[in-house]
């Protein structure tokens, strides 16, 4: 009997795993999300996802080692090769959304899956095109939805995503934080 562990505190990732009908538990360890200079955006996401996975893996009890499969993920937003992280405050959130307005950006999620037998990581990229959004709309969104825990200062399934996004190319659920269909494919082919 495999024991699937989601190494993420994100309620959206938990919801997506539930929508996919996976049986799993959530376990989170505190992880430093800093990263070395001169990594590419893809490498940054993989580096952080790997660290999140490692922290939970190393906290496994010896009796859990054989059957555990740990899934971790990190999502970043990339605009013109610049990584846009989580906003540090209200002004930063407003400034980030001003930058995203009328532009396309990439949402990259790195996924790291590890058992005692096997370890696989991959990234999935979705391109998101924003409409032009006004200052008033940005301030309304930031003050009402407080997107301070979200890379790029927005969530695609909230108001700003519904009214502000023109189109996407790629996996929608990847923008929400987990490319679920690729996770399941990887689990089926390599871990189950």
Whether the Cβ atoms of residue 29 and residue 56 lie closer than 8 Å to each other: yes
Residue 31 tokens, joined:
């992880």
Q: List the x/- string, 165-184, binding to a copy of itself by CB under 8 A.
A: xxxxxxxxx------xx--x
Residue 43 tokens, joined:
């490498």
Q: What is the spatial distance between Cα 109 and Cα 132, in angstroms, rounded to a whole number?
A: 25
> Which range, of 26-34, 65-73, 91-99, 159-167, touches a copy of itself by CB under 8 A?
159-167
Candidate list 30, 32, 37, 74, residue with the active-site label? 74
Q: Which is nearer to a copy of itself, 21 or 32 (CB)?
A: 21
Q: What is the spatial distance between Cα 77 and Cα 66, in angstroms, rounded to a whole number?
A: 35
Taking the complex as a whole, the smallest distance from the CB of residue 75 to a copy of itself amounts, in Å, to: 16
Q: Does 120 bind a copy of itself (CB under 8 A)?
A: no
Q: What is the spatial distance between Cα 169 and Cα 171, in angstroms, rounded to a whole number?
A: 7
Q: Which is nearer to a copy of itself, 85 or 170 (CB)?
A: 170
Q: Does 79 bind a copy of itself (CB under 8 A)?
A: no
* Options 159, 189, 191, 192; binder of a copy of itself; rule CB under 8 A: 159
Q: In the chain, how long is the greatest CA-to-CA distance?
A: 55
Question: In terms of C-beta density within 10 A (0-12 exposed, 13-18 middle, 19 or more buried), how is residue 29 classed?
Answer: middle
Residues 124-143 that bind a copy of itself (CB under 8 A): 126, 131
Q: Which is nearer to a copy of itself, 91 or 172 (CB)?
A: 172
């Amino acid at each position: 009997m495999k024991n699937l562990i989601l190494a993420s505190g994100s309620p959206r990732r938990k919801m997506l795993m539930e929508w996919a009908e996976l049986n799993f538990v959530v376990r989170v360890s505190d992880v430093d999300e800093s990263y070395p200079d001169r990594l590419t955006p893809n490498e940054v996401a993989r580096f952080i996802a790997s660290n999140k996975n490692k922290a939970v893996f190393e906290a496994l009890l010896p009796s859990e080692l054989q059957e555990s499969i740990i899934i971790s993920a990190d999502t970043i937003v990339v605009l013109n090769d610049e990584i846009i992280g989580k906003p540090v405050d209200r002004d930063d959130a407003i400034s980030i959304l001003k930058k995203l307005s009328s532009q396309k950006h990439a949402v990259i999620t790195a996924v790291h899956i590890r058992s005692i037998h096997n370890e696989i990581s991959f990234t999935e990229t979705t391109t998101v095109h924003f409409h032009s959004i006004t200052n008033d709309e940005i301030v309304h969104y930031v003050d009402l939805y407080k997107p301070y825990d979200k890379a790029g200062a927005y969530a695609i399934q909230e108001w700003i995503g519904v009214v502000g996004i023109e189109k996407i190319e790629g996996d929608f659920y990847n923008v929400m934080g987990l490319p679920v269909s690729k996770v399941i494919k990887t689990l089926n082919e390599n871990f189950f």
